[in-house]
Amino acid sequence: MKRVLTYGTFDLLHHGHIRLLKRAKALGDYLVVAVSTDEFNAGKGKTSYHDYETRKEILESIRFVDEVIPESSWEQKLDDVKGHGIDIVVMGDDWADSDRFDYLEEYCELVFLPRTEGVSTSEIKEDLGGAG
């Protein structure tokens, strides 16, 4: 039973998110998604359109998502890997150069998948005339 973990805000869910989640699940048997809390986002200067509970509800309805947990700090990732018996952490490759994940390589496999070009939550907001 290979267990996969990924992190994200997943606001205004779009096909870029879905394709990431689908590929992440395909790497194992069980997919845990850690969704950023509203407080964590505020700390990053981000405000999502949907609040945490709504983003969690939407993700839990996706058939290849097995479990959704809160992401409330940058520092929780190692606890998440150990606490959930994670074999692989998967992120889009916009995170490949970040130092937020590389230390996990001692504890689990780390996979960065190509992002889906041409779509992002901020672009959707801009296209709809909202704040970026």
- Catalytic machinery residues: 44, 46
Distance CA 103, CA 19 (A): 26
Of 10 and 52, which has the nearer Cβ to ligand C2G? 10
Any residues with CB less than 8 A from the CB of 74 and at least 6 apart, and which?
Answer: 100
Assess 17 for contact with ligand C2G (CB under 6 A). Answer: yes
Residue nearest to ligand C2G (CB): 92
Helix (H) or strand (E) run with residue 78 in it: helix 77-83
Cα–Cα distance between 100 and 107 in angstroms, integer? Answer: 14
In DSSP notation, 101-123 reads TGGGGGTSEEEEEPPPTT--HHH
Give the integer Cα–Cα distance in Å for 18 and 15.
5
Unique residue bearing structure tokens 């200067």: 45
- State yes or no: residue 92 binds ligand C2G (CB under 6 A): yes
Nearest distance from C-beta of residue 114 to ligand C2G, angstroms: 7
Binding test (CB under 6 A) with ligand C2G, winner from 94, 102, 105, 126: 94
Q: Work out how close the CB of 43 gets to ligand C2G at its nearest, in angstroms, rounded to a whole number.
A: 11
Q: If binding is defined by CB under 6 A, does position 10 make contact with ligand C2G?
A: yes
Restricted to residues 52-71, the positions that interact with ligand C2G (CB under 6 A) are: 71
How many of the chain's residues bind ligand C2G (CB under 6 A)? 16
Chain positions contacting ligand C2G, by CB under 6 A: 7-10, 16-17, 20, 36, 71, 91-92, 94, 115-116, 119-120
